[in-house]
């Protein structure tokens, strides 16, 4: 084999390796999109960790389904809601895709859960505006989420039955007393290292940039605003009625970057 041919092969191999590194660092090609609004543009990146929701979103963009749709609701320090579109044919919900590799930081794009099934609505989505948390408040969230596990413990069956009875009778003081007993158990488990779910990265982000940590592990997070968070903030401050609907319509168009 000629020396020049060997050099070409080596360069091809090096180029392929570099391409792999580039892909690993910046995500797969084709996952970047622009949401155009009257307030300005936001660039988003879709996650490969949630392929069904990624592909569904891409398909909707190809069909221009989101064009001229609106942000239907704004909930301050929580989310703005978009993607309320009319799908052609029968609407089929998607299975939830929960990944521990992504989390609900500010700008996260989250699938709307269907209350009547375990899946998510195929077209609607939240964009997280969220809030900034203290480390202490994140600890309280972790402990609160322990309560769900504790209440299902067979040893707490009587407590749970009593709680339901008190709830039906609207005896709030008695209900609070039971919750207090459960919190004692949660504190003990937490001290033993059980229920600590937030990583250092999550803690750093939630205490500086903000987000909605209660969504982690509960909702399908399939993308992220990577440019234009200031536009997200402007939309989040728009005037709304008592139901959270913007007083002035905020339309959107979504296209590939």
Q: Which two tokens stand for residue 95?
A: 């299975």
What average pLDDT score do residues 95-101 get? 94
Q: Which two tokens stand for residue 34?
A: 């622009």
DSSP conformation class of 210: -
What average pLDDT score do residues 76-80 get? 96
Q: What's the predicted TM-score (pTM) here?
A: 0.79
Q: Which two tokens stand for residue 66?
A: 């989101």
In angstroms, the CA 228 to CA 36 distance is: 11
What CA–CA distances, in Å, run from 106 to 112, 205, 213, 223?
Answer: 16, 9, 10, 11
Tens of pLDDT, residues 115-141: 877 788 888 999 999 999 999 999 999
Tens of pLDDT, residues 25-73: 333 446 999 999 999 999 999 999 999 999 999 999 999 999 989 999 9
Does 17 score more than 50 pLDDT? Answer: no
φ/ψ of residue 247, rounded to 5: -65, -40
Q: Among residues 235, 213, 212, which one has the least CA distance to residue 35? A: 235
In angstroms, the CA 182 to CA 171 distance is: 17
Question: Where are the domains positioned within the chain?
Answer: 28-131+209-256, 135-191
What average pLDDT score do residues 207-230 get? 96
In angstroms, the CA 239 to CA 15 distance is: 51
pLDDT score recorded for residue 89: 54
Percent of the chain with pLDDT over 90: 72
Does 242 score more than 70 pLDDT? Answer: yes
CATH number, domain 28-131+209-256: 2.40.100.10
Q: Please count the other Cβ atoms lying within 10 Å of the Cβ belonging to residue 21.
A: 10
Query: How high is the mean pLDDT of the chain?
Result: 86
Does 3 score more than 70 pLDDT? Answer: no
pLDDT score recorded for residue 7: 38
Does 227 score more than 50 pLDDT? Answer: yes
In angstroms, the CA 106 to CA 198 distance is: 16
């Amino acid at each position: 084999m000629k020396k020049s041919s060997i050099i070409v092969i080596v360069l091809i191999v090096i180029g392929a390796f570099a391409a792999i590194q580039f892909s690993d660092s910046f995500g797969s090609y084709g996952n970047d999109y622009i949401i155009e609004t009257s307030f300005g543009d936001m660039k988003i990146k879709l996650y490969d960790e949630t392929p069904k929701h990624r592909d569904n979103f891409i398909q909707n963009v190809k069909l221009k389904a989101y064009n001229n749709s609106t942000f239907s609701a704004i909930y301050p320090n929580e989310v703005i809601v978009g993607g309320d579109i009319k799908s052609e044919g029968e609407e089929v919900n998607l299975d939830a895709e929960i990944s521990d590799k992504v989390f609900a930081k500010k700008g996260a794009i989250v699938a709307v859960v269907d209350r009547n099934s375990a899946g998510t609505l195929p077209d609607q989505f939240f964009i997280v505006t969220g809030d900034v948390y203290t480390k202490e408040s994140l600890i309280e969230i972790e402990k609160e989420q322990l309560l769900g596990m504790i209440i299902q413990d067979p040893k707490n069956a009587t407590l749970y039955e009593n709680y339901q009875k008190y709830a039906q009778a609207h005896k709030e003081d008695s209900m609070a007393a039971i919750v207090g007993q459960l919190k004692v158990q949660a504190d003990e488990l937490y001290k033993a290292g059980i229920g600590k779910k937030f990583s250092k990265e999550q803690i750093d982000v939630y205490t500086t940039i903000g987000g909605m940590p209660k969504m982690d592990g509960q909702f399908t997070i399939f993308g992220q605003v990577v440019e234009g968070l200031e536009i997200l903030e402007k939309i989040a401050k728009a005037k709304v009625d008592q139901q959270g609907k913007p007083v002035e319509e905020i339309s959107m168009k979504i296209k590939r970057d």
